[in-house]
Amino acid sequence: MTEITACDTAAPLVGVLALQGGIREHVQALEAAGARTMLVRRASELDALDGLVLPGGESTTIDKLMRLYGIAGPLRAKIRDGFPVYGSCAGMILLADRITDPALDAAGEPQQTLGGLDLTVRRNAFGRQRESFETSLDFDGLQDLPSQEPGQQAAPVHAVFIRAPWVEKVGSSVQVLAKVLPQEASTDIIAEGRDSVARIVAVRSGKLLATSFHPEVTGERRIHELFIQMIRGDA
């Protein structure tokens, strides 16, 4: 992780929630995109940050650990106040206001989310682990990034879907950034007739960004670059 020094204090300090899931890859992607980084495990660490990444993993486990460590309440309040957060895969579920199929704990209580995104998400919508897939996506909002050549169309995003959710409904405040067509998804989904429409897999609302897929595992840095620009107020 990059050491925080006086010469780089102009770079935003972005935390990665480090309770469970794919943490290291997000740190590498953020630093490659020009941010300073910090692993976050305590609520007291949130106030030092300019933004936060919620990594992929098990949304139910991350939910339980956030509540156990006392992070969920303070983070939920910061999100309501406009704190920038990017969630990938499980992180998308945690940012959703509603879950179609929430997991239940031993007492029968549904899993909780942080909320902030006016949408309904379905967990593991694209299937099991063996139905993971990769595809190229047209992704809105990348054409004006500093790394993008002026006047050039942004290249498609190489996206990896691993037990990924999809978005079933969005409110008027949510901007859809990318969709997956049925023929681009797992062949098992198509063969079994489980899907026949394009599914929303990337969204933005204010300072919140979420993707169903994992850009951090493919070397794709533009999603993290977009998030940094959102933190700066430049996107």
- The catalytic residue positions are 89, 214, 216
From CA 114, how far away is CA 22, in angstroms rounded? 19
Secondary structure element (H or E) that encloses residue 68, with its range: helix 59-68
Give the list of residues 6+ apart from residue 24 with CB closer than 8 angstroms, or none: none
Give the list of residues 6+ apart from residue 200 with CB closer than 8 angstroms, or none: 166, 167, 168, 170, 176, 178, 179
Residue position matching structure tokens 């992607």: 29
Q: How far is CA 18 from CA 51, 63, 79, 105, in A?
A: 14, 12, 18, 22
